[in-house]
């Protein structure tokens, strides 16, 4: 299995732990990752200015993958949605496909719809499979309750095919169970992490994040995990701010990428997984896991 | 008209006020047409459909000895019958008339090309004249109507319609799939806006229906098939076994008391329990219990028979078999009602069925009802405690393009009534109504809204909840953006009531298929005309009453039931129906008996028969044929011809138009 790893801006510039843990774990499960030499932003930040530009930006990414005969793995929920939307819309709208290819021609690129995009949750759950993951485990993790925060765009909007649906258990939760942990539900699991309003209303955004963490703590979860760089940026990176804004010192939980947990189970070292870069108290978790 | 008689045609060009005349030069059309062979007189007039317009035709027929009439005006849909009657008054067969459409087909679509439009109109009218030359008189036959009606569905719509028909002196068979009549209205505690007790106004009608000498009740019975057509339907019913001899049973209920097995009650929507042998509800009509074999110890394990042992009149009969009933009726009323939208499956964000304290409005009715599972006390399902804070959410699934696009037309007022239930039962309770718009259009509804709105402990929030969530301590909460105050409000109610959208009753789909009647995109029965013929269907003799046609409250349902009944009564008291003259007719000499036409007919009108000489030919049952022409188009031999539209006539029109 080979994929072209399209990181997207957030993972490539702020969330190195995600990249490290993806590059550390996937090859151990038989997945080869190619690193693209030439890449661009998925176009989401331009959506408010141009409706066309994001289609072009995403089509370019897909065209590069197609030129190499590969599919994309996109670890960011936002990029993944934008890429999926583009694939979907271009297929239904031949004039749009032509317009995009007109621009790509200058670079000798062309997108025909052959290459497609996967999210790590799909690669892990659908392509590799939980059995294979369970049998690859090197280190037994204690059966502790962990809560997943899938993030909006893993599930929404329902107009386009999304990796997860709410009709039944999440793939992400099955993956948590696959490495010996217990997936624990909590009330605000499917809600927004707060990142969407961070630029406009930082205080409100952080209150939202604090609420999610408190709900997970209230059901007894020992950690919160996700496969979205925005969710972890909020849940992991904003705990100090949350304490200040809410005045509640209890807003504290280890928050980390599922691929970091997976890496621990596969016997990788915490440094190799970038866990020294996490800002939430992951050392508490590591401590418990060593017991 | 005598064979070989000279053809004398009158042509009348209508101005339709300015609809036609502002674009088409009607004088020129009349003038050109007067030059066409066989046209004896050609005139234009402002409104041909008016009484003076029609009189011109009647008089000209006499004065000019016309034997064919062509009117060039609007679409034949509205006024063809008008002009046919005029021609008949003039003494001609009404089918010696032809209509040319120069409005929809010409003036309305060629507003900017007046002279070309006039040329086109001339061609259209000339084509009609070409056909008129070849018209033959057609016959309309009268078929007897069986003076007996079938009503499908025993809710308030079916009961009301049955009583109206029965009171007019006709026999009625009322079929209900559940063990008792009463429908959804029997589940309600009170009815808005007057707050009268639902059972108190419904039960007398149920009893009246069961005692009426003209009404035969078929409860616990399904419709299996319906054949035939208006005036002469052949119906097959299947009566499911109750395992109780109806003639012997006295309704004493000893069997129910003795039965050791309990299961969730359908009537109480799973909130209460019933026995394996049960009455649908205490006021059931007929008051005869039913054994549910899926939960009966005897049917499952071969032991028990307690009911049989204790039944005083020995009415239990474990060997009862399903019984087929055949009926012939002249008219059918569909009154299958509604079911609730499946919120548990389609809208998981509301947590219905996931959380016990999220209930539907209909379930609240059962909690409030004195005969319901909590004996009329509002107690929440999770722990049996009295809720002090209740959220009522309107438009759950309704007016939502991802779910049901339409309004349920009673959820708002039902929600107001439910707020009334809560505050009248639990005076210190707080009620929050989350709404998008409050629609209180019915008589007395706005006044009722005002009344509830004035209650201090009923608060209105303009917004739909985000997801309903359960906190670590088990309490339910949700955020809702109140558009009136521009704020997100977090509510933590003890009980949440969903006013869910409604869908056609699940049994309707099968009935619609059996009847071949049209169904709208929303799944409800499609009426023939949304304003002018709301009780009729695409199938003659089949009428609609109540929510089968679309969401309706009780007053509208009862009104429509009366209208459907009077349509059925009109049909039966006239005693006959006229056949359509434009039916398909088979030329047996040309028919090869290939049978291509037979399966194509959507109305089952064609059969293949053997003639005396052994030749197989197609035969059209003119009481079923709707004149759609499908067989005519399909017949490879040209044997099938549609009267009034035969090949010769159509070819003459085409030649004129293209020549
Ligand atoms: S007959 Fe038709 S076209 Fe003429 S006035 Fe009446 S509606 Fe208008
Ligand atoms: S399709 Fe024509 S030829 Fe064949 S059976 Fe029907 S009427 Fe006769």
- Return all residues near B51 (Cβ < 8 A) that are at least 6 apart: none
d(CA B560, CA B546): 6
Write the CA distances from B418 to B1, B187, B344, B407, integer angstroms. Answer: 71, 14, 21, 18
Give, for ligand 2, the residue of B615, B630, B637 to mutate: max count of ligand atoms closer than 8 Å to Cβ. B637
Paired sense of beta strands B221-229 and B232-239, if any: antiparallel
pLDDT digits (tens, 9 = 90+) for B76-108: 988 999 999 999 999 999 999 999 999 999 999
Q: What pLDDT does residue B196 have? A: 93
Say if CB B147 and CB B231 are below 8 A apart: no
**Residue-level pLDDT at B580:** 85
Portion of chain B with pLDDT greater than 90, in percent: 92
CA distance A220 to A290: 19
The ligand that comes nearest to the alpha carbon of residue B635 is 2
Residue B3 pLDDT grade (very low, low, confident, very high; cuts 50, 70, 90): low
Instruction: Report d(CA A288, CA B650) in Å as an integer.
Output: 90
Q: Which two three-digit tokens encode residue A34?
A: 């190619």
CA-closest residue to ligand 1 atom 6: B49
B331 contacts B152 by C-beta, under 8 angstroms = no
Task: Enumerate the residues of chain A whose CB falls inside 8 A of the CB of residue B471.
Answer: 187, 215, 218
CB A166 to CB B348 under 8 A? yes
Q: How would residue B622 be classed by pLDDT, with cut points 50, 70 and 90?
A: confident
Interface predicted TM-score (ipTM): 0.71
Considering only the beta carbons, identify the residue of A158, A166, A187 that sits closest to B470. Answer: A187
Ligand 1 within 6 A of CB of B21: no
Query: Which residue's entry shows tokens 């942990």?
Result: A181
The CA B16 to ligand 1 mean position distance, Å, reads 4
Summarize pLDDT for B117-173 with one digit per residue, the tens: 999 999 999 999 999 999 999 999 888 999 999 999 999 999 999 999 999 999 999
Q: State the average pLDDT over residues B610-635.
A: 90
Asked if B177 and B260 touch (Cβ cutoff 8 Å), the reply is no
User: Which ligand has the shortest distance to the CA of B57?
Assistant: 1
Interface test with B, best of A160, A164, A169, A187 (most B CBs within 10 A): A187
* The token pair that represents B610 in the structure block: 């053997």
**Predicted confidence band of residue B626 (pLDDT cuts 50, 70, 90):** confident
Nearest to B529 by CA among B544, B541, B514: B544
- Of the ligands numbered here, which is closest to the C-alpha atom of B71? 1
Q: Is B472 in contact with A187 (Cβ distance < 8 A)?
A: yes
Reply yes or no on whether the pLDDT at B659 is more than 90.
no
Rounded Cα gap, residues B622 and A185, in angstroms: 66
- Residue count of chain A, please give it: 291
The pLDDT, as a whole number, for residue A42 is 96
| Residue B623: predicted pLDDT | 77
Looking at the partner chain, which of A158, A187, A220 has a beta carbon nearest the beta carbon of B471? A187
A215 touches chain B (CB under 8 A): yes
Supply the pTM of this predicted model.
Answer: 0.78
Predicted local distance difference test score (pLDDT) of residue A172: 98
Would you say the CB of residue B414 lies under 6 angstroms from ligand 2?
no
Q: How confident is the model at residue B2 (pLDDT cuts 50, 70, 90)?
A: low
- B73 CA to centre of ligand 1 in angstroms: 5
Report the pLDDT value the prediction gives residue A291, as an integer from 0 to 100: 55
Kindly write down the DSSP assignment for every residue of B35-102, as one continuous string: TSTTEEEEEEES-TTSHHHHHHHHHHHHHTT-SEEEEEES-HHHHHHHHHHHHHHTTS-TTSEEEEE-
Residue pLDDT, tens place only, B349-377: 999 999 999 999 999 999 999 999 999 99
Residue B462, pLDDT > 90, answer yes
Which among B350, B467, B479, B492 is the top mutation candidate for probing chain A, defined by the most A β-carbons within 10 Å of its own β-carbon?
B467
Per-residue pLDDT of chain A (291 residues; tens, 9 = 90+): 999 999 999 999 999 999 999 999 999 999 999 999 899 999 998 988 999 999 999 999 999 999 999 999 999 999 999 999 999 999 999 999 999 999 999 999 999 999 999 999 999 999 999 999 999 999 989 999 999 999 999 999 988 899 999 888 999 999 999 999 999 999 999 999 999 999 989 999 999 999 999 999 999 999 999 999 999 999 999 999 999 999 999 999 999 999 999 999 999 999 999 999 999 999 999 998 885
Strand pairing report for B171-175 and B148-152? parallel
Kindly report the nearest CA distance between residue A86 and chain B, in angstroms. 22
């Amino acid at each position: 299995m080979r994929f072209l790893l399209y990181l997207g801006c957030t993972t490539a510039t702020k969330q190195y732990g995600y990249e490290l843990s993806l590059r550390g774990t996937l090859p151990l499960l038989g997945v080869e990752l190619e690193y693209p030499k030439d890449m661009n932003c998925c176009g989401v930040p331009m959506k408010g200015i141009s409706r066309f530009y994001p289609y072009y930006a995403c089509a370019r990414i897909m065209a590069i993958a197609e030129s190499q005969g590969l599919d994309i793995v996109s670890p960011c929920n936002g990029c993944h949605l934008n890429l999926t939307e583009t694939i979907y819309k271009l297929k239904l709208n031949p004039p749009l496909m032509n317009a995009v290819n007109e621009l790509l021609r200058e670079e000798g690129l062309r997108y025909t719809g052959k290459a497609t995009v996967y999210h790590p949750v799909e690669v892990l759950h659908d392509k590799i499979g939980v059995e294979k993951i369970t049998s690859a485990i090197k280190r037994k993790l204690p059966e502790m309750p962990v809560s997943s925060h899938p993030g909006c765009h893993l599930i929404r909007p329902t107009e386009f095919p999304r990796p997860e649906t709410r009709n039944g258990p999440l793939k992400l939760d099955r993956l948590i169970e696959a490495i010996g942990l217990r997936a624990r539900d909590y009330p605000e699991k499917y809600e927004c992490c707060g990142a969407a309003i961070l630029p406009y209303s930082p205080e409100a955004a952080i209150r939202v994040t604090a609420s999610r963490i408190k709900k997970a703590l209230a059901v007894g979860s020992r950690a919160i995990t996700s496969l979205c760089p925005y969710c972890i940026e909020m849940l992991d990176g904003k705990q100090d701010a949350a304490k200040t804004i809410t005045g509640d010192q209890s807003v504290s939980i280890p928050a980390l990428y599922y691929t970091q947990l997976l890496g621990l189970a596969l016997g990788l070292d915490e440094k190799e997984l970038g866990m020294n870069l996490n800002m939430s108290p992951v050392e508490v978790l590591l401590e418990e896991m060593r017991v | 008209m005598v064979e070989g008689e000279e053809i004398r045609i009158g042509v009348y060009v209508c101005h339709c006020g300015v609809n036609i005349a502002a674009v088409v030069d009607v004088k020129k059309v009349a003038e050109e047409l007067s030059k066409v062979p066989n046209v004896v007189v050609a005139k234009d007039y402002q409104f041909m459909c008016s009484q003076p317009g029609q009189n011109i035709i009647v008089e000209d027929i006499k004065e000019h000895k016309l034997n064919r009439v062509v009117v060039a005006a609007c679409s034949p849909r509205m006024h063809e019958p008008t002009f046919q009657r005029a021609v008949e008054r003039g003494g001609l067969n009404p089918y010696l008339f032809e209509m040319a459409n120069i409005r929809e087909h010409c003036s309305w679509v060629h507003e900017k090309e007046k002279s070309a439009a006039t040329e086109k109109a001339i061609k259209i009218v000339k084509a009609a004249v070409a056909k008129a030359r070849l018209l033959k008189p057609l016959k309309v036959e009268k078929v007897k109507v069986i003076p007996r009606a079938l009503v499908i569905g025993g809710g308030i719509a079916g009961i009301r319609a049955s009583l109206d028909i029965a009171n007019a002196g006709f026999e009625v068979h009322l079929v209900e799939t559940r063990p008792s009549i009463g429908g959804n209205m029997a589940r309600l505690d009170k009815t808005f806006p007057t707050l009268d007790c639902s059972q108190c106004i419904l039960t007398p009608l149920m009893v009246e229906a069961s005692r009426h000498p003209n009404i035969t009740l078929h409860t616990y019975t399904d419709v299996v098939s319906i054949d035939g057509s208006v005036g002469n339907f052949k119906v097959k019913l299947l009566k499911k076994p109750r395992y109780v001899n109806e003639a012997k049973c006295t309704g004493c209920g000893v069997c129910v008391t003795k039965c050791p097995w309990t299961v969730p009650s359908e009537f109480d929507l799973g909130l209460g329990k019933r026995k394996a042998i049960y009455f649908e509800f205490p006021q059931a009509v007929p008051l005869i219990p039913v054994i549910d074999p899926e939960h009966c110890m005897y049917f499952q394990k071969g032991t028990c028979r307690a009911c049989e042992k204790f039944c005083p009149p020995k009415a239990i009969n474990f060997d009862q078999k399903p019984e087929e009933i055949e009926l012939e009726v002249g008219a059918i009323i569909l009154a299958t009602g509604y079911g609730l939208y499946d919120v548990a499956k389609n809208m998981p964000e509301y947590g219905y069925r996931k959380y016990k304290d999220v209930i539907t409005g209909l379930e609240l009715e059962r909690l409030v009802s004195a005969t319901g599972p909590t004996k009329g006390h509002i107690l929440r399902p999770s722990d049996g405690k009295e809720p002090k804070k209740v959220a009522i959410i309107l438009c759950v699934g309704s007016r939502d393009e991802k779910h049901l696009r339409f309004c349920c037309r009673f959820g708002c007022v039902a929600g107001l009534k439910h707020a009334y239930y809560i505050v009248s039962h639990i005076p210190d309770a707080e009620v929050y109504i989350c709404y998008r718009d409050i629609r209180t259009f019915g008589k007395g509804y706005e006044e009722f809204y005002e009344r509830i709105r004035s209650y201090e402990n009923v608060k209105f929030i303009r917004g739909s909840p985000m997801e309903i969530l359960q906190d670590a301590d088990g309490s339910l909460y949700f955020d809702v953006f109140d558009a009136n105050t521009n704020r997100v409000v977090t509510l933590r109610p003890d009980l949440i009531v969903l006013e869910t959208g409604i869908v056609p009753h699940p049994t309707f789909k099968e009935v619609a298929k059996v009847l071949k009647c049209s169904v709208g995109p929303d799944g409800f029965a499609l009426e023939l005309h949304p304003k002018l013929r709301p009780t009729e269907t695409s199938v003659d003799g089949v009428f609609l009453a109540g929510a089968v046609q679309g969401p309706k409250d009780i007053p509208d349902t009862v009104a429509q039931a009366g209208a459907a009944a009077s349509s059925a009564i009109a049909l039966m008291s006239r005693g006959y129906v006229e056949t359509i003259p434009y039916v398909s007719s088979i030329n047996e000499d040309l028919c090869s008996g290939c049978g291509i036409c037979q399966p194509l007919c959507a109305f089952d009108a064609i059969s293949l028969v053997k003639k005396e000489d052994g030749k197989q030919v197609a035969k059209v049952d003119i009481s079923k044929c709707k004149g759609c022409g499908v067989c005519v188009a399909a017949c490879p031999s040209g044997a099938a011809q549609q009267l009034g539209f035969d090949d010769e006539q159509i070819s003459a029109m085409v030649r004129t138009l293209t020549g």
